[in-house]
Amino acid sequence: MIVHARLSAIKGIKPHEWIIRFVFGGAVCVIAGLISQKFGPGIGGLFLAFPAIFPAGVSLVEAHEKMHKARAGFDGTNRGRIVAAIDALGAAMGCIGLAGFALVIWIWLPRTSLFVVFALATLVWLTLAVGIWLMRKKLILHR
């Protein structure tokens, strides 16, 4: 599998789908702000870390896949769920990298300069994200 970006896919996103993502992401941010006001920024920050557009995005991915299969005369329910699950797996792998990034920032920022900490955190994120992706690839190929 080669990772690539298809910018042409952006053209297929309908305006109401952009609105759903925007509204859902904004609602998550507002809720995190309200939680921060009530319980403090430490707790509110945990909720802000919630991938705000993921739930809306994954449901739209499933709907698109079902629609593509329906155009071909097939029931795309199972295919839509599989594609959504693969999307969720990728998000989970990315979250592990982001957790490593956050841990480095949390531990080292009080002790050293922002530039050094940010560079180190980025390196940790990249190493974890790529490492987990390669490990997943290796585990799947050896089944």
Pull the structure tokens for residue 75: 């029931």
CA distance 17 to 21: 6
pLDDT confidence tier of residue 4, bands split at 50, 70 and 90? low
Q: pLDDT tens across 63-95, in order?
A: 878 888 888 888 888 888 888 888 888 888 888
Q: Is the pLDDT of residue 104 over 70?
A: yes
Task: Report yes or no: 25 and 44 within 8 Å, Cβ to Cβ.
Answer: no
Please count the residues of the chain: 143
Centre a 10 Å sphere on the Cβ of residue 28 and count the other Cβ atoms it contains: 19
Centre a 10 Å sphere on the Cβ of residue 60 and count the other Cβ atoms it contains: 20
CA distance 142 to 101: 30
Which whole number is the average pLDDT over 11-28?
A: 80
Q: Is the pLDDT of residue 141 over 70?
A: no
What pLDDT is recorded for position 12?
A: 72
Q: Taking the complete model, does pTM exceed 0.75, yes or no?
A: no
Percent of the chain with pLDDT over 70: 89
